[in-house]
Amino acid sequence: MDELKRLVISEQTQEDEVISLSLRPAKLTDFIGQKDLVSALKISIDAAKKRGEPLEHTLFSGPPGLGKTSLAHIVANEMNSHITITSGPAIQRAGDFIGILTNLNKGDILFVDEIHRLPKTVEEFLYPAMEGFKIDFIVDKGPYAKTINFNLKPFTLIGATTRSGLLASPLRDRFGIFHHLEFYEKSDLATIITDTAAKLNVAIDPSAANEIANRSRGTPRIANRLLRRARDYAQVKAGKNHVDLDVAVECMKSLRIDEYGLDDLDRRLLSIMKTHYQGGPVGIDALSATLNEEVDTLVDVIEPYLLKTGFLRRTSRGRELTDLSLKHLLKSKL
- Please report the pLDDT score of residue 333 as a whole number: 55
DSSP-H helix ranges across 184-334: 186-199, 206-214, 220-236, 245-254, 264-277, 284-291, 295-297, 303-308, 323-331
Catalytic member of 16, 113, 188, 266: 113
Together in a domain, 85 and 152: yes
Q: Is 29 exposed, middle or buried (0-12, 13-18, 19+ CB in 10 A)?
A: exposed
Together in a domain, 90 and 191: no
For the segment 111-140, the average pLDDT, to the nearest whole number, is: 85
Together in a domain, 229 and 306: no
Catalytic member of 162, 194, 196, 219: 162
Together in a domain, 38 and 171: yes
The CATH number for 235's domain is 1.10.8.60
Together in a domain, 144 and 269: no
Q: Residue 144: pLDDT band by 50, 70, 90 thresholds?
A: low
Catalytic member of 58, 68, 156, 267: 68
Together in a domain, 124 and 218: no
80: left (phi over 0), alpha (psi -120 to 50) or beta: left
Q: Is 162 a catalytic residue?
A: yes
- Please report the pLDDT score of residue 3 as a whole number: 39
Catalytic member of 16, 58, 69, 161: 69
What pLDDT, in 10s, does the model give residues 214-226?
Answer: 999 999 999 999 9
What pLDDT, in 10s, does the model give residues 280-326?
Answer: 798 888 888 888 888 888 887 788 888 888 899 988 888 999 988 88
For the CA atoms of the chain, what is the radius of gyration? 22
In a domain, 228, yes or no: yes
Q: Residue 10: pLDDT band by 50, 70, 90 thresholds?
A: low
What is the domain extent for residue 301? 264-331
Q: Is 113 a catalytic residue?
A: yes
Whether omega for the bond prior to residue 281 falls within 30 degrees of 0, making it cis, is yes
Which residues, 6 or more positions from 236, have their beta carbon under 8 angstroms from its beta carbon?
A: none
157's enclosing H/E stretch is strand 156-161
Catalytic member of 215, 221, 225, 319: 221
Domain count, the chain: 3
Q: Is 46 a catalytic residue?
A: no
Together in a domain, 141 and 279: no
Count Cα atoms within 13 angstroms, Cβ side, for 131: 13
> Mean of the per-residue pLDDT values for the chain?
86
Q: Residue 11: pLDDT band by 50, 70, 90 thresholds?
A: low
- Final residue of a structural domain among 201, 235, 254: 254
Together in a domain, 119 and 197: no
In a domain, 9, yes or no: no
